[in-house]
Amino acid sequence: MIKVTNLSHYYNKDLALKDINLEIKKAQFVSIIGESGSGKSTLLSVLSTLLKPSSGEVVYEDTNYKNIKNIDNFRRENIGFIFQFHYLINYLSVKENINLANEKASKEEIFELLRLLGIENLIDKYPNEISGGQRQRVAIARAMINNPKVIFADEPTGNLDSKNSLNVFELFSTLAKKGTTIIVATHDKNLALKTDITYEVKDGKLI
């Protein structure tokens, strides 16, 4: 599904990634681990189209990233994003926050998605009325509302306790079994054990 060949990236003259080669298959649950500053978040940003690499190739299905003319449409049709901070808007309800990602989604569609996540009773609540774990599940729902083929998550459990972190990874595993490719950057090696395959980044290289 995603193939990376001879990928390198520099920030000015500082090397962030060097000669990365990997292949991720459809419906795999993949973790990228590494210490802070190792390059794992940079790799995730490149894989998810948020960052253009200095050199190398990234091919998504049959599309080379270099040949994507309308990146916004490509992301909308293929990719979901989840970050460490949920970025929900406090004055909007759960439903309204999810509609920001897809204004055409009906309340019924959103309710069904929240039901899958076990939080359908929160559809009319506001972010400051729900827990941190629930807010992160709302963020996952927002990422899923366009039925993306792949979800990228950068430290999605960084602000959660161990129980909620495990719940999020179990949810990702369920989504992968249903056909969604999940790629997660995390520093937590115990959580990485829950994924199908783990890549470790150290000093900008896969080891």
* 88 neighbors 82 (Cβ within 8 angstroms): no
Q: Model confidence at 86, in pLDDT bands (50, 70, 90)? A: confident
Q: pTM for the whole thing?
A: 0.89
126: which 2 tokens?
A: 């506001």
Q: Is the pLDDT of residue 116 over 90?
A: no
What pLDDT shows up at residue 71? 92
The residues pairing with 79 across neighbouring beta strands, listed in sequence order, are: 150
pLDDT tens readout for residues 26-68: 999 999 999 888 899 899 999 999 999 999 999 999 889 999 9
Domains along the chain? 25-53+68-200 (3.40.50.300)
Buried b (16+ CB within 10 A) or exposed e, 135-164: bbbbbbbbbbbbebbbbbbbbbbeebeeeb
28: which 2 tokens?
A: 């795999």
Classify the phi-psi angles of 80: left when phi > 0, otherwise alpha if psi is within -120 to 50, otherwise beta. Answer: beta
* Sign of CA pseudo-dihedral 108, 71, 83, 20: positive
Task: Calculate the average pLDDT of the chain.
Answer: 91
What pLDDT shows up at residue 144? 87
127: which 2 tokens?
A: 């972010």
What pLDDT shows up at residue 181? 96
How far apart are the C-alpha atoms of 8 and 47, rounded to whole Å?
12
